[in-house]
Amino acid sequence: MDLRLSPEHEAFRAEARSFLDDRLGGRFAKVRGRGGPGDEHVLFDERWAWEQELGRHNWIGLGWPTEYGGRGASLFEQVIFYEEYARSGGPGRVGIVNEGLIGPTLVHFGDEAQKRRFLPRILDGTELWCQGYSEPNAGSDLANVSTKAVRDGDEWSIHGQKVWTSLAHWAQWCFVVCRTDPESKRHKGLSYVLAPMDQPGIEIRPIVQITGTSEFNEVFFDGARARIDHTVGGEGNGWKVAMGTLAFERGASTLGQQLGFERELGTITDLARRNGLTSDPVFRQRLAEAWITLRVMRFHALRTLSVLEHGDVSRETSIHKLFWANFHRGLGELAVDVQGANGMIADGPIETPEDERYPLDLMQRLFLYSRADTIYGGSNQIQRNVIGERALGLPPEPKVV
Ligand SMILES: Cc1cc2nc3c(=O)[nH]c(=O)nc-3n(C[C@H](O)[C@H](O)[C@H](O)COP(=O)(O)OP(=O)(O)OC[C@H]3O[C@@H](n4cnc5c(N)ncnc54)[C@H](O)[C@@H]3O)c2cc1C
């Protein structure tokens, strides 16, 4: 496999780099490097303005077809953009669910009216979305969803509870996986419904995390309304659409993220230098190991790209998810180990009003937040099950009766 970039790819990289360096060095300097793991609560208004700046310059929806306002960029180009984004210290995206999950889902499964209604506002960053999948009894076992939607004229009336709903407190819309056939069981009889968040039938309760902040929420539906014609993929086809969304979640954006990890490792290595740990044999080993793992991750990402372009992606994306999630959790541990006793003191820099309430530094946030990496988007155990079945040909898991 030829891993060199073509002149066109190099030109695309230069264009992305120039845009990002210009904006993040100027008007948006405040958000540079902020809003990442465990830091997602800060500078919301500024980061929302940044999302819209990306949209104005056509950097959202890179891979979407041009007829829907995307750039029609190849997977390689998308990964190049995500790499440049991470390298330049691009802030955590308030539109991460928009671009990574619901956008590609609508492009793939939405009808024409849904595309025309929703895609432009994802592309210009004016509407934000959240993902209504997990419930108290349906996480890894998503087919156990019990939130119900009952037909009432040309609307659904939704009753039930979702949990761990990231960014629900900011979102204008939620894609809700719910049971529209009351007699159905498991993955049959589910629908993928688009519900507006600002309405009387929805209550959002924040969940406080170990970082002290609340990235995610419980969301209660008590007769919330959604239009029937906002059912993606048609009534009863929710499972297929929901699985499609998950495949996008494990797709291109995660392949470019190792440059963000490299920045984090750079910060940790600088701190190790200052703390005199670069002559400690154990820390030297751990730093070098992390650097090597990042190299392997990059080559694996490139290899995955070629598979993504040609066929069954599920096992490759599961391998990638498992690999980066474990690496990143370990990097968080290395970060606080390098801080030594200081890592135990909440005395981080105060750069924003939110920092006053949660004075953790970025290393501490990385440590705390990265515990979640091996859970969301499919836990480690679930990824291994997928790999067991799709790569090793193991029999499917026995069903619990
Ligand atoms: C930071 C964060 C953000 C999130 N954001 C969202 C969001 O925006 N929207 C949303 O809908 N959800 C979200 N989630 C929820 C996430 O999808 C679930 O946490 C995840 O699917 C696991 O489900 P669970 O928490 O119910 O754990 P469970 O499924 O109950 O799992 C508990 C443990 O059992 C293991 N396990 C479960 N089943 C099996 C099996 N068959 N074989 C082997 N081991 C198994 C799991 O690996 C885990 O270790 C988020 C989670 C986190 C941590």
Residue-range domains of the chain with CATH:
7-94 (1.10.540.10), 130-236 (2.40.110.10), 250-390 (1.20.140.10)
Q: What gap in Å lies between CA 390 and CA 166, rounded to an integer?
A: 29
Question: What's the CA gap between 114 and 119, in Å, rounded?
Answer: 8
CB 150 within 8 A of CB 183: no
* 3 state SS of 215: coil
Secondary structure letter of residue 148 according to DSSP: E
Identify which of 101, 186, 322, 376 to mutate to test ligand 1's pocket (most ligand atoms within 8 A of the CB): 376
The residue ranges of DSSP E strands in 166-308, in sequence order, are 173-179, 190-196, 202-206, 217-227, 231-232
Task: Give the number of the atom of ligand 1 that is nearest the alpha carbon of residue 136.
Answer: 26
Query: How distant, in Å, are the alpha carbons of 10, 29, 74, 107 from that of 307?
Result: 22, 37, 13, 21
pLDDT of residue 4: 72
pTM for the model:
0.93
Tell me whether residue 249 is one of the annotated catalytic residues. Answer: yes
State how far the alpha carbon of 158 is from the alpha carbons of 161, 204, 379, in Å: 10, 15, 28
pLDDT value for 27: 92
Q: What torsion, rounded to 10 degrees, do the Cα atoms 197, 200, 202, 203 define?
A: 120
The active-site residue, picked from 84, 99, 135, 249, is 249
Bridging pattern class, strands 217-227 and 155-162: antiparallel
* 296-300 contact pairs (CB < 8 A, 24+): 296/323, 297/258, 297/261, 297/323, 297/324, 297/327, 298/258, 299/3
Q: What is the pLDDT of residue 1?
A: 56
Pairwise CA distance, residues 69 & 328, whole Å: 34
Angle at 52 between CA 50 and CA 55, to 5 degrees: 115
Q: Cα of 374 to ligand 1 centre, how many Å?
A: 9
Hey, which bits of 268-362 come out as E strands? none
Q: How far apart are CA 206 and CA 83, in angstroms?
A: 32
Ligand 1: list residues with CB < 6 Å: 130-134, 139-141, 164-166, 216, 372, 375-376, 379, 381-382, 385, 397
Best substitution site from 379, 389, 399 to test ligand 1's pocket, by max atoms within 8 Å of Cβ?
379
Q: What pLDDT was estimated at residue 305?
A: 74
Parallel/antiparallel/unpaired status of strands 173-179 and 231-232: unpaired
**Contacts by residues 205-210 (CB-CB < 8 Å, ≥ 24 positions apart):** 206/169, 207/163, 207/164, 209/368, 209/369, 210/368, 210/371
- CB-based burial of residue 239 (10 Å sphere; 0-12 exposed, 13-18 middle, 19+ buried)? buried
Phi and psi at 236, nearest 5°, equal: 85, -5
Q: For ligand 1, what atom is nearest to the CA of residue 380?
A: 47
Ranges in the chain, pLDDT < 70: 1-3, 250-253, 255-256, 308-313, 400-401
Taking CA atoms, 195 is separated from 113, 149, 238, 247, in Å, by 16, 11, 14, 22
Q: State the distance from the centre of ligand 1 to the C-alpha of 211, rounded, in angstroms.
A: 19
Beta strands in 32-139 (DSSP E): 129-132
Q: Distance between CA atoms of 331 and 33, rounded to whole angstroms?
A: 17
pLDDT in tens, 144-193: 999 999 999 999 999 999 999 999 999 999 999 999 999 999 999 999 99
